[in-house]
Structure 1
């Protein structure tokens, strides 16, 4: 995480612990309620094959992980219309809740201080019985 070439290497498990300590993650039902109330933007970063296999969260903004920062930077020239400011509450959703934590850390570096991620990712959303658009219907 630091640019110091003499720093001790950090494994991914420790990196996840460090980044997750910097914000409060949300459970599926809380994310659903916040999205319904217009208090949070759900952002699905799963790759296409997973979306095609499992379906979509209705209303979620789909942004491939490699485009996330460009699409959510409120100052960026390639931002999504939903990227209205640094106070936007973003809930990042990946498949199981790991890649989304690292993506959230990156959004924090861009100044999106209310960004968080979904504990357990899309799989937890589906297991909670929350709405899912079947593949091919979106």
Structure 2
């Protein structure tokens, strides 16, 4: 096992990862898309997701931070979405570390969402800065 695989396994051991249909059924979750703009433009986005670039993710989602996005609390279920569900696991672990106890990620990422036939809207949303 590579060191990266071990890091990923450790991160996921703290998450209750969600399948696409589970995320779709959630009513009060904050879905955060961390994919690069080129992927979002080419493949689309999950409706009502919030685009936050990975480089500012912790600052925008720190429940006690002055730079946080409005509309969520430390108890909000936050689901991080990347392309295939790898970097989102690491990001969700980091969000738990800043106090989002219900942070998790989407198993298989956006591509699993799309393959499950769930709704996709055209991409191009501007990231939260």
TM-score, length of structure 1 as denominator length: 0.85
Tell me, which stretches of 5 or more residues in structure 1 are unaligned?
1-9
Larger Rg: 1
Q: Does 1:14 align with 2:3?
A: no
Aligned to 1:73: 62
Q: Alpha carbon RMSD of aligned pairs, Å?
A: 1.6
Which of 33, 49, 56 is 1:60 aligned to?
49
Offset of 1:127 from its aligned partner?
0.3
Q: Does 1:107 align with 2:95?
A: yes
Which of 98, 103, 128 is 2:116 aligned to?
128
Asked if 1 retains the 8 angstrom alpha-carbon contact of 2:51 and 2:125, the reply is no
Structure 1 consecutive aligned stretches of length 4 or more whose deviation exceeds 4 Å: none
Aligned to 1:5: none
Aligned to 1:86: 74
Tell me, which stretches of 5 or more residues in structure 2 are unaligned?
none
Q: Aligned partners of 1:137 and 1:114: how far apart in 2? A: 25
Offset of 1:135 from its aligned partner?
3.5
**Per chain length, whose mean CA-contact separation is higher, i.e. which structure has more relative contact order (CA < 8 Å, sep 6+)?**
2
TM-score, length of structure 2 as denominator length: 0.91
Q: Aligned partners of 2:91 and 2:98: how far apart in 1? A: 11
Which segment drifts farther, 127-136 or 116-125? Answer: 127-136
